[in-house]
Chains A and B, each alone.
Chain A
Amino acid sequence: MRDAGMEVIYTGLRQSPEDIVEAAIQEDVDAIGLSCLSGAHMTLFPEVVKLLKKRKSGDILVAGGGIIPEEDIPKLKKAGIKVVFGPGTPLREIVAFFETAGKGA
């Protein structure tokens, strides 16, 4: 994403949803990319969306990735996660998504 001309703020591993939302608001980002390998995505991802709405920042796009079972994806999308990238998603596809989203929103 850096090579596609974006500014990416890396917050590090094991951040709580509260930390992530606070950072996103201070940095005034256009999008948040969440990665979860622990299996807790069904709790953590929707929590981020919920907290963003609470802070009047529901317009920040939330994308997810990591080890996420196929059947969870529709549920996550329903909870406000715009897109979920599974393992093996080509980088090009991810970059293209953020580029289009950045222009269209």
Chain B
Amino acid sequence: MPARKGTAARPRGPVPGLVDSLLKGDKRAAGKLISLIEDDEPEATEALARIHPHTGRAHVVGFTGPPGVGKSSLINRLVRTLRGRAKKVGVVAVDPTSPYTGGAVLGDRIRMADTGVDPGVFIRSMATRGHAGGLALATFDAVRVLDALGMDLVLVETVGAGQSEVEIATRAHSTVVVEMPMTGDAVQTMKAGILEIGDVYVVNKVDLGNADVLVANLKFQLEARDGWTPPIIRTAAIEGRGIDELADALMRHATFLDETGLRKQREIARARLEILENAQRLLARQVEAGSAFGKDFERMAEDVASRRLDPNAAARKLLPTSSRKPL
């Protein structure tokens, strides 16, 4: 039962050395770099900058679906199948952080224990640490680290909130939506989000019976997008049924993305998002580090409270001069 705390108690070593080791396939360096990024240490920016040129090789697959639907077990089986096809596989599994204590129990690994000490597998658990959308802020930076480590595929397991997890689809190359029979009526599958984000649909736990209804419902409603009709794969992860078909479907989708040029399009769409996010984060930091806590700030607070100034105008005064135009 390993325990990890937010801030580093142990030294992590200089970034250039860690990145060199990472590129040579050193898992210890990978583990340390992910922590450094996750904890948002000052060296994280340098680490990511050094890693970036060495990424872009791994095919990133996101898994989403309600809690308890079997995502971890499915990934466990899929990792084994992909290993059988000589693919190196990274996994980033996200679990929720308690909003009250900041602590978390990360339990996905227990269902992924089959792969143990296989050198071609790297599994990292991650707590959301307050980030919404079923992912942690650092999830895709961790994916980058595993990409640079030389993984052919990186599988990302989201928290599984179920209906608001569209973020994964904007980041992954392929998104797998996992459902199971007997969890709701046809309206559940019609809800926004579920039908739009999947490149592959999995109906897991088919051994429970009644899978036909769900499969028929999905088939009826799923439409082709950009020339790709999402396949529906029936699985029973615990028994290992349907896993080969799932691996095949993912490989087909990867080839489809390459052949149609969609991979490039998705990469660019993601890059746009990432640039904007970084800009937002940098700006937020500048505001906080700058005049925000000085005398001016206190005076502005008085002015806003006594209605001499409105909050938006006050906020603009905190920004660097170049960005003080009203928005």
Residues of A within 8 A of B (CB): 1-12, 15-16, 18-20, 22-35, 55-57, 59-60, 98, 101-105
Whether A103 contacts B3 in the complex (CB less than 8 A), given A7-B103, A10-B107, A12-B110, comes out as no
B218 to chain A, nearest CB (A): 33
Does A8 contact B28, Cβ atoms closer than 8 Å?
Answer: no
- List 10 tightest A-B contacts by C-beta distance, closest first: A28-B31, A29-B2, A2-B103, A12-B110, A5-B102, A28-B35, A33-B1, A105-B9, A7-B4, A9-B106
Cross-chain contact A27 with B2 (CB below 8 angstroms): yes
In the bound complex, do residue A6 and residue B5 qualify as a contact, i.e. CB atoms below 8 Å apart?
A: yes
- Across the interface, do A9 and B116 meet the contact criterion of CB distance under 8 Å? no
Provide the residues of chain A in CB contact with B10, threshold 8 Å.
30, 59-60, 105
Q: How far is the CB of B265 from chain A (nearest CB, A)?
A: 33
* Chain A proximity of B32: nearest CB distance (Å): 5
Given contacts A11-B1, A30-B4, A3 and B110 within 8 Å (CB-CB): no
**Chain B, interface SS category:** mixed
Residues of B within 8 A of A15 (CB): 113
Can you add 20 more A-B contacts, CB < 8 Å, to A26-B122, A102-B9? A1-B103, A2-B101, A5-B5, A6-B5, A7-B104, A8-B103, A9-B1, A10-B110, A11-B110, A12-B113, A22-B27, A24-B2, A26-B124, A27-B109, A28-B35, A30-B4, A32-B3, A34-B1, A55-B28, A59-B11
Contact of A9 (CB < 8 Å), options: B6, B9, B30, B125: B125
Most chain B CB inside 10 Å of its own CB: which residue of A6, A20, A35, A101: A6
Distance in angstroms between the alpha carbons of A34 and B102 in the assembled complex: 23
A-chain residues with CB within 8 Å of residue B125 when the two chains form the complex: 7, 9, 27
- Chain B residues near A8: list those with CB within 8 A: 1-4, 103-106
How far does the Cβ of B159 sit from chain A's closest Cβ, in whole Å? 14
Which of B11, B35, B113 counts the most chain A CB atoms within 10 A? B113
Taking the closest CB of chain A, its distance from the CB of B96, in whole angstroms, is 11
Known pairs A9-B125, A98-B3; A19 contacts B105 (CB<8 A): no
Q: Residues 26-60 of chain B: 1 if any A CB is under 8 Å from the residue's CB, otherwise 0?
A: 01101110110000000000000000000000000
17 A/B residue pairs, CB under 8 Å, sorted by A: A1-B3, A4-B103, A5-B5, A5-B101, A7-B125, A8-B3, A8-B4, A8-B103, A8-B104, A20-B2, A23-B2, A25-B31, A26-B27, A32-B1, A102-B5, A103-B9, A105-B10
